[in-house]
């Protein structure tokens, strides 16, 4: 059949070709269109075409630009002439995506595609409105050649002082129409002139093949060792973040997200950069282990408690899987000093984020056992997805993906690990559990009040050490340091001096040094002797000498203390502020409630609301076989129905065009006779609406009642009521 339009071309496609189209452009069946006409309308819409063009590599994009420059219809020979012979192998990819379609007289492009590609495709200007003598270009004076050289490869527009007073070189070009004025200060070089000067080619350099990935080779054993170390480290980071915020939950910003100060404090606690800390926060937020409670506190969810009980492989999978598909980029946090972009905030979404991750990981999968040079990785990725409208994938996005994959353990030394390969292919992750170092249940206490953990600690031991010691350094062996502040923290959370000492003797393979024993005993004796409550606040102490010392201490003058009894002081400050100031002055107060009960014990908080992971925007999932079959069946059925309706409309138009006017009584007689004699046949009627506008309707009459006709309307498929006085005429089909 002769193809005159894009819709007719789509109608000519078989099921295999339509399936290939839906696989490369899944947005076309989300939702499924009613028929081919709707499919053609959607496929030629600007949003859909932008997505399709963004899926092309650099060579395919150059080929599409060349096709857009040619006059329609064009032949494959004409396209090869302005590009390269290898274009015949890239053209099917454009046809498969319906970005180029073939009619009876040659190839054409869908409507709106040239608008998507831009007004100056491949740096070429508009076509001249008059015929040009291009042979005169060989006779151009040197001054004119300089102007042409500056504009031939684009941009085709140039600025001049005054087009009414051109220099001799420009005047020669204006006289012959090679250049035309756009305004008083700008001119444009015509398309056919530029193509002639380019040697009848469209692009200066064709990028047919992607840039080569370069880098140093790395052995598989080294990749695995690094990757499993990264996995272990990231799991520990996640657990530390969630435990830290369970004890000291920060308050979210009004706009959402973690404040700069809270991010800095957490980074200091973890001993990481703020960029890495922000990434750890985001991953746990995506996994539903962290959320913002209704009272704006950022807290671990109850899912965290379940997560702690899982195997290492399942823990890791729960963290990495949402990262692969999210539309959020944690690398945007605090970029260029911006304080408005924060972890867990609303400003991190980028619609192309997931596709960039998939692209980078696919490249690493194709180049295994090599640590890619970052610049070659960026160049290769930008060739794969030039993203014409956005100027290419930002290089920093690619760098962030590579960096985050390394932090997560998907890669080791920059090369995809077997663990990453297993996750991407959906294989079993038991290898993660078998390769992880076994947790240890002991520490080695040193004489300088430090303890060394010779490997990852068992959960109970690690939790207890987090309460009574600070992490000094991390690595294969973690170093903890015992200080007055860290031991006081343990006492604040309900541990006694005897319990701390008993735990250390049980867990340490080396004896507990005597100075550490003395420090634990001394702090536990002092802890709680001084107690603080609310009046705004009060200070109570059974040691009169200590009360007198505090009253005379200049370091606590800011509290404005007043003695109301030999053992009681009061302050206008809040109890928490009084505790902090006293501790800064080297006192060891403990909090108590209004009944005088010491407030100690674990205060590990959990969010009261369910986890609310952020939404994912901008991505369409690849359709499965069931969806493809459903889409094909729906479109084919809708197309048959549309064709039938079109035929009936044409028949009704012809009949109604010659339909005489009839009175209401005559119309009633005709309808009654039709229902009795031919009840299964359709009628075409003219029907006037409330404004007197007459429309043509195709109906299946059912019954007449109380001056009205009940009939099934073919346009909507519904049973409607038509008032007989408003029916202007009736025709049989």
191 and 292 housed in the same domain: no
Residue percentage of the chain with pLDDT more than 70: 92
In the listed set 435, 455, 475, which residue is the last one of a domain according to the structure?
A: 435
pLDDT tens-digit map of 571-607: 888 887 888 888 888 888 888 766 666 655 555 567 7
pLDDT beyond 90 at 129: no
379 vs 731, residue with greater confidence: 379
Q: Phi and psi at residue 451, in whole multiples of 5°?
A: -135, 140
pLDDT beyond 60 at 402: yes
Where do the DSSP E strands lie in 507-643?
530-533, 537-541, 562-565, 568-571, 589-591
pLDDT tens-digit map of 593-649: 666 666 555 555 677 777 777 877 767 778 888 988 988 888 888 777 666 555 655
162 and 219 housed in the same domain: no
The size of the chain, in residues, is 733
Residue percentage of the chain with pLDDT more than 90: 30
What letter would DSSP give residue 297? Answer: B
Q: How many CA atoms lie within 13 A of 357 on its CB side?
A: 26
724 and 630 housed in the same domain: yes
Question: Which residues make Cβ contacts (< 8 Å) with residue 637, sequence separation at least 6?
Answer: none
Residue with tokens 């998939």: 358
In the listed set 435, 460, 485, which residue is the last one of a domain according to the structure?
A: 435
**Domain annotation covers residue 534:** yes
Task: Give the strand pairing for 530-533 and 589-591.
Answer: parallel
285 and 402 housed in the same domain: yes
Span 550-558, mean pLDDT?
A: 88
Number of domain units in the chain: 4
Span 81-110, mean pLDDT?
A: 91
337 and 223 housed in the same domain: yes
192 and 234 housed in the same domain: no
268 and 295 housed in the same domain: yes
- CB of 603 closer than 8 Å to CB of 247: yes
pLDDT at position 718: 77
pTM: 0.72
378 vs 725, residue with greater confidence: 378
pLDDT band of residue 660 (cuts 50, 70, 90) is low
DSSP labels, 320-386: HHHHHH--B-GGGTTGGG-SS--TTSTT-B-TTHHHHHHHHHHHHHHSTTEEE-HHHHHHHHHHH--
**Domain annotation covers residue 51:** no
pLDDT at position 226: 92
Span 42-50, mean pLDDT?
A: 90
- CB of 108 closer than 8 Å to CB of 72: yes
- CB of 112 closer than 8 Å to CB of 77: no
**Domain annotation covers residue 415:** yes
Distances (CA, A) of 623 to 32, 92, 180, 436: 11, 21, 49, 37
In the listed set 382, 415, 435, which residue is the last one of a domain according to the structure?
A: 435
pLDDT at position 1: 45
**Domain annotation covers residue 453:** no
**Domain annotation covers residue 689:** yes
Question: Measuring CA to CA, which residue among 199, 83, 630, 207 is closest to residue 100?
Answer: 83
Give the domain range for residue 141. Answer: 134-197
pLDDT beyond 80 at 147: yes
145 and 269 housed in the same domain: no
Span 71-78, mean pLDDT?
A: 90
254 and 345 housed in the same domain: yes
**Domain annotation covers residue 720:** yes
pLDDT beyond 60 at 11: yes
Where do the DSSP E strands lie in 253-292?
290-292
533 and 559 housed in the same domain: yes
170 and 222 housed in the same domain: no
Q: Which two tokens stand for residue 694?
A: 């007459």
303 vs 562, residue with greater confidence: 303
**Domain annotation covers residue 373:** yes
Q: Lowest mean pLDDT: which of 128-137, 171-180, 276-285, 658-667?
A: 658-667
**Domain annotation covers residue 29:** no
382 and 420 housed in the same domain: yes
> Considering Cα of 661, then 666, then 672, then 678, what sign does the dihedral take?
negative
Q: Would you call 209 helix, strand, or coil by DSSP?
A: coil
Tell me the C-alpha distance between 340 and 350, whole Å. 16
Mean pLDDT of the chain: 85
């Amino acid at each position: 059949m002769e193809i005159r339009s894009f819709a007719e071309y789509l109608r000519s496609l078989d099921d295999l070709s339509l399936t290939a189209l839906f696989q490369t452009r899944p947005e076309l069946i989300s939702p499924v269109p009613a028929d081919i006409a709707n499919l053609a309308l959607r496929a030629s819409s600007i949003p859909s075409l932008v997505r399709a063009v963004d899926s092309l590599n650099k060579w395919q994009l150059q080929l599409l630009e060349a096709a857009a420059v040619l006059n329609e219809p064009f032949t494959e020979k004409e396209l090869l002439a302005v590009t390269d012979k290898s274009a015949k192998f890239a053209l099917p990819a454009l046809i498969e995506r319906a970005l180029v379609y073939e009619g009876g007289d040659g190839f054409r492009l869908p409507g709106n595609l040239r608008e998507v590609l831009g007004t100056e495709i491949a740096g070429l200007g508009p076509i001249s409105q008059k015929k040009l003598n291009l042979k005169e270009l060989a006779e151009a004076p040197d001054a004119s050649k300089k102007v042409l050289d500056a504009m031939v490869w684009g941009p085709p527009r140039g600025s001049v002082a005054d087009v009414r007073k051109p220099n001799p070189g420009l005047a020669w070009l204006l006289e012959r129409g090679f250049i035309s004025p756009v305004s008083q200060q700008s001119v444009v070089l015509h398309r056919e002139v530029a193509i002639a000067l380019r040697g009848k080619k469209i692009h200066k350099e064709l990028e047919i093949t992607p840039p080569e990935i370069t880098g140093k080779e790395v052995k598989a054993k080294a990749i695995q060792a690094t990757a499993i170390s990264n996995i272990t480290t990231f799991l520990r980071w996640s657990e530390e973040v969630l435990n830290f915020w369970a004890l000291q939950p920060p308050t979210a910003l009004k706009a959402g997200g973690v404040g700069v100060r809270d991010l800095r404090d957490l980074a200091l606690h973890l001993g990481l950069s703020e960029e890495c800390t922000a990434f750890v926060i985001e991953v746990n937020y995506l996994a539903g282990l962290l959320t913002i409670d209704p009272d704006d506190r950022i807290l671990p969810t109850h899912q965290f408690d379940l997560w702690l009980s899982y195997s290492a492989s399942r823990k890791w999978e729960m963290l990495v899987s949402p990262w692969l598909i999210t539309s959020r980029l944690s690398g945007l946090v605090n970029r260029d000093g911006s304080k408005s972009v924060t972890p867990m905030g609303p400003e991190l979404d980028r619609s192309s984020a997931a596709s960039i991750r998939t692209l980078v990981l696919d490249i690493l999968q194709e180049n295994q056992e090599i640590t890619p040079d970052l610049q070659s990785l960026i160049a290769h990725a930008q060739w794969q997805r030039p993203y014409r409208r956005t100027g290419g994938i930002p290089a920093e996005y690619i760098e962030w993906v590579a960096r985050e994959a390394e932090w997560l353990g998907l890669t080791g030394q920059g090369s995809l690990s077997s663990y990453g390969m297993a996750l991407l292919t959906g294989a079993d992750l038991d290898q993660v559990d078998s390769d992880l170092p076994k947790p240890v249940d002991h520490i080695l206490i040193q004489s300088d009040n430090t303890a060394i953990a010779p490997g990852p600690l068992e959960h109970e031991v690690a939790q207890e050490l987090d309460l009574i010691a600070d992490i000094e350094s991390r690595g294969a062996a973690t170093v903890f340091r015992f200080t007055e502040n860290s031991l006081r923290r343990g006492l604040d959370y309900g541990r006694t001096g005897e319990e701390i000492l008993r735990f250390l003797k049980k867990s340490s393979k080396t004896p507990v040094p005597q100075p550490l024993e003395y420090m634990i005993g001394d702090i536990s004796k002092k802890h709680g002797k001084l107690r603080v409550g609310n009046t705004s606040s009060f200070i109570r102490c059974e040691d009169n000498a200590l009360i007198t010392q505090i009253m005379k201490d200049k370091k606590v003058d800011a509290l404005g203390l007043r003695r109301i009894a030999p053992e009681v002081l009061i302050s206008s400050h809040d109890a928490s502020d009084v505790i902090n100031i006293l501790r800064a002055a080297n006192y060891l107060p403990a909090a108590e409630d209004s009944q005088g009960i010491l407030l100690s014990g674990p205060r590990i908080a959990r969010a009261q609301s369910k986890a609310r992971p952020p939404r994912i925007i901008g991505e369409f999932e690849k359709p499965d076989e069931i969806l493809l079959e459903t889409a094909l069946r729906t479109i084919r059925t809708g197309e048959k129905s549309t064709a039938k309706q079109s035929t009936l409309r044409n028949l009704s138009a012809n009949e109604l065009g010659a339909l005489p006017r009839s009175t209401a009584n005559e119309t009633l007689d005709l309808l009654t006779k039709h229902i009795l004699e031919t009840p299964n046949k359709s009628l075409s009627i003219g029907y006037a609406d409330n404004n007197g506008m007459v429309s043509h309707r195709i109906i299946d009459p059912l019954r007449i009642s109380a001056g009205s006709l009940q009939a099934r309307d073919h346009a909507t498929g519904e049973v409607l009521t038509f008032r007989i006085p408003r029916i202007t005429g009736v025709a049989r089909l």
